[in-house]
Structure 1
Amino acid sequence: MQNEQKDFTSVSPSAKSLLLMKGYTNIPYAKETAALMQGPEVFDLSFDDKDFWFWIRVMHFENRYWTIDQLLKQTTAKNILELSSGFSLRCLDLCVKNEDIHCIDTDLPEVVATKQKMIDQLQLGKDVKGKFELLRLNAMDQAEFDSVVSRFEEGELTIVNEGLLMYLNMDEKKQLCKTIHTILKQRGGSWITADVYVKRSEEMTASLPQSKGEAAFFEQHHIEENKFDSYEAAEAFFKEQGFEVVKEAVPNYEALSVMPHLMKVLPEDVKNSKEPPPKIQATWMLKAI
């Protein structure tokens, strides 16, 4: 199929930008791996000028990481597949902590190769108790997807992803959903996705500063267009693809390691506001029905 041949390698540089931001959090292994990163990154982030908007971004990505963990803890599955994981080492962390876990960490070849070098250089694999695998996978290639899933023993499968759907148009989203739905109907389990993003209002878009690099990346990948129109529209979309939203993660902002940094640069009007921060993303657990 034409969709299966799409080249997603231009997305990979964003993984570096996210890791550099996550390096300011207590996400497992983020500090160590971020320290190995060299050279420019695609978003042109200002790491020298860590202002309010910088820490807001870091908070968003730290929260997104932990909301997936929050829902993962509510499952009993020992088989876990992470899609398009970037430089996150969630699978490794799970396998260090639990000998019963089989977690397969996947992304495109160049990301996987770099990540493997990081793991080797930092000797992060020496404490693994469970079964950890780091494999190349284009999530849009059904044959590759099925091949990776076949490596798990029988039993329920939990599929997780942080950022992927925002890079897919509607037809590609449907294609991915079909692949995941077929697998979950066969094996049982769930899909935990932190990729439920809704389009920003014009007012919000105008208020958010964006570097030239970040703006160009968003435009190149049609990220704003690929977001859902609303959470209701997202739920309706997943329902049309045969999924039911069974749980939504509840952010615990007070527990985030970035909060002390953010509080120091919080503008007075934000400090005094009684309005909650705008919700731009949700993390859902989906079941195939």
Structure 2
Amino acid sequence: MTTHHARISPTAKLAAFLRAETDIPYCRQIADMCDAEEVSRTFDPGFIANHRAYIELRFKSLNAFIHRLGFRQVLEFAGGVAPRGLILSEDPSMLIVETDLPELLEEKRLIVKALIPLSERTNYHLHSANVLQSEEVWNAAGLFEREPITVVHEGLLQFLTPSERKQFAGNIRSLLKVFGGAWITSDVVIQESFERFYPETKQASTLKRVTEVTGRSIAEDAFIDWEAATSFFKEEGFAVERFKQIDFVPEMRSRVFEPQVLERIEYEEVWVMRLIN
């Protein structure tokens, strides 16, 4: 399983490259440390220009939503080299557990150590876990008190096949049964969004590149439509609420973007799942 999923890491590095130009703390240093620019050269420049604002919005809207929920414990799956745990753990009342596959997590640990003295940040933990292995997921959650948690991931669900999504949802369901809390993500992608945001000429080459790099066909495995996505979560025992990402990062509205970038950032959503009692 691991070798299969560890291939996803170049997309994590691409996201790191896209975040480097933003005002999100730590991102410039992280991009330099993990050779993110080198990975970015293998993707279409048009794709990169159009994705930068989207990646910034995605990250910021999820952090804003974590604050809105107000739960003190956060479990991030497939954290990649994003600085979410670094940023959130600056608040000593928060307890952050960040997970990824072992290879990528070791790279992350080296990066974090270069940025902060980890021994002083006792509320920030890096834990290796494959999201499909319930034992590994529970080990990561073993650091939490029996209080509500926010489960978060960004850029993970798209890379899971439909059957893997079911497994993953089952693991989160079992966590929320014990701790309470909510599951939030920016990862609910429907097939229409590929048609809209990857124009025909570029679409084939970019998606082909993502498939080559990850071994995953994200367009084929996307939910057919919003209804299909909602019913997936319902069937797994969750009530769904949907929000526009841009409403949580309103300052991005005042910036000047290309029309297609603007369309994209007005379109993207945060989904919040809670257990149906």
- TM superposition shift of 1:25: 0.9
CA distance in 1, matches of 2:116, 2:265: 40
The answer on whether the counterparts of 2:242 and 2:269 sit within 8 Å (CA) in structure 1 is no
* Structure 1 residues 69-116: Cα deviation after superposition (integer angstroms, max 9, x where no partner): 1221121311110000110121121111x1111100111111111111
Distance, in Å, in 1 between the alignment partners of 2:78 and 2:87 is 17
Larger radius of gyration: 1
For the residue of structure 2 that corresponds to 1:100, the secondary structure is coil
Alignment: residue pair count: 270
Match of 1:209 among 172, 188, 202: 202
Please state if 1:79 is matched with 2:73: yes
2:93 is matched with which residue: 91, 95, 100? 100
Residue 44 (structure 1) aligns with: 42
Conserved 8 A contact 1:109-1:136? yes
Match of 1:89, as an amino acid? P
Quick one: which of 234, 250, 272 aligns to 1:285? 272
Query: Which deviates the most, 14-23 or 241-250?
Result: 241-250
With over 3 angstroms needed to count, the CA separation of the structure-2 counterparts of 1:113 and 1:151, relative to structure 1, is same
Q: Give the corresponding residue for 2:56.
A: 62
How far apart, CA to CA, are the structure 2 residues paired with 1:93 and 1:81?
14
Distance 1:213 1:239, change over 3 A: closer
Residues 122 and 71 of structure 1: is their aligned pair in 2 closer, same or farther, counting only changes over 3 Å?
closer
> 2:185·2:271 contact (CA, 8 Å) conserved in 1?
yes
| Shift in alpha-carbon separation, 1:15–1:125, aligned structure 2, 3 A | same
Unmatched runs of 5 consecutive residues or more in structure 2: none
What pairs with 1:1-289 in structure 2 (closer than 5 Å)?
7-38=4-35, 40-41=38-39, 44-45=42-43, 53-96=47-90, 98-123=91-116, 125=118, 128=121, 131-200=123-192, 202=195, 205-207=198-200, 209=202, 212=205, 215-218=208-211, 220-252=215-247, 255-256=251-252, 263=257, 266=258, 270=259, 276-277=263-264, 281-289=268-276
> Distance between the aligned counterparts of 1:208 and 1:288, measured in 2?
42
Question: Quick one: percent identity of the two aligned structures?
Answer: 25
SS state at 1:195 partner: coil
Alpha-carbon offset, residue 215 of structure 1: 2.0
Query: What letter is aligned with 2:275?
Result: A
Secondary structure at 1:284 match in 2: strand
| Alpha-carbon distance in 2 for matches of 1:79, 1:284 | 19
**Which is further off, 35-44 or 239-248?**
35-44
Decide which moves more: 209-218 or 149-158: 209-218
Alpha-carbon distance change, 132 to 277 in structure 1, aligned in 2, over 3 angstroms: closer
**Matched residues in 2 for 1:83 and 1:243: separation?**
18
User: Using a 3 Å threshold, how does the CA distance of structure 1 residues 124 and 13 change in structure 2: closer, same or farther?
Assistant: farther
Q: Distance in 1 between matches of 2:219 and 2:100?
A: 22
Greater share of helix? 2
Residue 178 of structure 2 aligns to which amino acid in structure 1?
Q
- Is the alpha carbon distance of 1:59 and 1:95 closer, same or farther for their aligned partners in structure 2, counting shifts above 3 Å? same
Moved more, 66-75 or 277-286: 277-286
Cα distance change of structure 1 residues 233 and 280 upon mapping to structure 2, 3 Å threshold:
farther
1:195 Cα offset (Å): 0.7
- Report if aligned partners of 1:199, 1:224 keep a CA contact under 8 Å in 2: yes
Which segments of 5 or more consecutive residues in structure 1 lack a partner in the other structure? none
- Counterpart of 1:146, as a letter, is W
RMSD between aligned residues: 2.8
Contact 2:146 2:178 survives alignment (8 Å): no
CA contact (8 A) 1:44 1:212 kept: no
Q: Partner amino acid for 2:96?
A: C
TM-score under structure 2 length normalisation: 0.86
How far apart are 1:167 and its partner, in Å? 1.0
Q: Which amino acid aligns with 1:228?
A: F
Task: Tell me the alpha carbon deviations over residues 15-72 of structure 1, each in whole angstroms, 9 at most, x when there is no partner.
Answer: 11110111011122111111223273177136xx6x6x43320011111111211221
Tell whether the 8 Å contact from 1:81 to 1:104 is kept in structure 2 after alignment.
Answer: yes
